Amino acid sequence: MGKSLCVCILLLSVCNLLAAEPEGFRLMTYNIHHAEGMDGRLDCERIARVLLSKSPYCVAVQEIDSATARVEGLDILQKIAGNMKMFPVFSATMPYLGGKYGIGLLCKEKPIAVHHVPLPGREEVRMLLIAEFERFCIGCTHFSLTQEDRKLSVERIRGSLKIFQKPFFLMGDMNMQPDDSEADLLSRDFICLSGLDVKTFPADSPTDCIDYIWGDKKYKDKYNVLETEVVIDTVVSDHRPVYVRLSVE
């Protein structure tokens, strides 16, 4: 095989990382309530089915138990990843009931690096989990219930953004409303791709918009939103999953 042909194949492979599928680059965020549904049932397989319905490249997942008594010792993220055939990245935020509790990412590709950035949270430890890929980064977070902590978290995320010279997508349960001051602060560096007028919580009759997908404003000319959706499911978790499909240059 000639050298120029090898270079062309390599370039095509890199481009395909962002355009994960011909239909677009698909992202989701889902607070899974430690895999316990509104019916009180623990079920990882139905979570996987909800997510697979959108064929995501990456999913940000919040409220994950790992080997806790509450989930009978299961590694919840690993279990869902196995059902979806995706790569799991877990970030433990605190010990809980004999195991760990935290946030995570499910990715079609293995990241080249993973970063854990502690965030303020007076009621529990909070975290920004970053999966770094060749041409972009994806962050997952679950903000504090306290507004002051959320504002400080946004400032810390804005600081982290300066480290990566590539598009950054931020997803998660942010416990803030679109008209909160911390949302305005975040919008200085990010564009809300999922929409500010959608309701995601509680799942059975949503009244609040607290789950979001954001895109790095510096690279806004590199991608366009093709489709957004709050997936209608009233049982699997107490939140509804949020989905965005992008075209990427």
Name the β-bridge partners of 239. Answer: none
In contact, 45 and 9? CB cutoff 8 Å: no
pLDDT in tens, 132-178: 999 999 999 999 999 999 999 999 999 988 899 899 999 999 999 99
pLDDT of residue 14: 39
pLDDT in tens, 171-214: 999 999 999 999 999 999 999 999 999 999 999 999 999 999 99
Q: Which domains does the chain have, with CATH numbers?
A: 21-248 (3.60.10.10)
d(CA 183, CA 174): 9
List the alpha helices (DSSP H) in the chain.
Answer: 3-18, 44-52, 76-84, 147-161, 181-186
Percent of the chain predicted with pLDDT > 70: 91
Residue in the block written with tokens 């194949």: 9
Residue 4 has pLDDT above 50, yes or no: no
Query: 211-216 and 190-192 as β-strands: parallel, antiparallel, unpaired?
Result: antiparallel
Enumerate residues 6+ apart whose C-beta is below 8 A from 168.
Answer: 136, 137, 138, 139, 161, 215, 216, 219
